[in-house]
A and B are shown apart, each in its own frame.
Chain A
Amino acid sequence: GAGVSQTPSNKVTEKGKYVELRCDPISGHTALYWYRQSLGQGPEFLIYFQGTGAADDSGLPNDRFFAVRPEGSVSTLKIQRTERGDSAVYLCASSPQRGNNEQFFGPGTRLTVL
C-alpha cells in the first residue's frame, strides 16, 4: 500500500520567503509527527497531531513555524520569514495511534534557504 508521501522533495528558497511543506500520511493513521533533521543529526521533534488537533507543539523552534491538519489527514508545515538556519530535511511520520506504535516515515523534504 501507499506509504507516507511528502511534497516537494526539494525546496530552494530565499531568506525571508514563506514556504509550505506537505505531508500525506498513511490512510487511517490518526497520529502525525513532524521532525527536522540537520546534517549529521538525528530527527528533532517539532510537532505532533492526534486527529485534527496539535496535541503537542512544544518542539516548534519559534513562532515562524506553524503546522495544520484541518481534516485529520494531510498536514502542512508552514515556515514564515525563512532563515538560512532553517535549512534541513523536514520529515513527516504517521502512526495508527500515539504512544507505543512505530512511526512510518516519509522520504522528507530537503529545504535550502539561500
Chain B
Amino acid sequence: AQSVAQPEDQVNVAEGNPLTVKCTYSVSGNPYLFWYVQYPNRGLQFLLKYITGDNLVKGSYGFEAEFNKSQTSFHLKKPSALVSDSALYFCAVRDMNTGNQFYFGTGTSLTVIP
C-alpha cells in the first residue's frame, strides 16, 4: 500500500542554521514526490517536486530536497533557516503506475528560533 511517513511531529532549529524535515515513502511503482507548506490560516503551497532526473531538486524560498531511492526518502532541506520558514510542512507521494491518489504525510511543524 502507498503511504508517506514524516517521523517528526515537531522540528526546532535556530535561525541561520541548516534545517532538515524528514520524509519516507512507500509505493509499489515509481514515485512522484512533493513538498507543500502550510502557513496559519492559509492554503497549502507547493514548494518542490521530484518526478525524474537529478536526485537533488531545488524549489521555492531556497528549499531543496534529495530523492534517495535506496532509502525511499525525500528529505526537505535548507542551508540557512529563516524565522519566516516557521510553518507546517507536508510531504506527498503519488505512485506513477497506479491510480490518481496523492498520499500526504501527517505533517511536521517547523519552528525557527530567532
B59 to chain A, nearest CB (A): 10
A16 to chain B, nearest CB (A): 30
Note all chain B residues with C-beta closer than 8 A to A106.
43
B32 touches A42 (CB 8 A): no
A83 to chain B, nearest CB (A): 23
A42 touches B107 (CB 8 A): yes
In the complex, whether A52 has a CB less than 8 A from a CB of chain B is no
The interface on chain A, measured as residues whose beta carbon lies within 8 A of the other chain's beta carbons, has a size of 27
Chain A residue nearest to B50 in the complex (CB)? A100
Partner of A56, one of B32, B43, B51, B99: B99
Note all chain B residues with C-beta closer than 8 A to A112.
none
**Which residues of A come within 8 Å of B, CB atoms?**
3-4, 33, 35, 40-45, 48, 55-56, 58-59, 91, 93, 98-100, 102-108
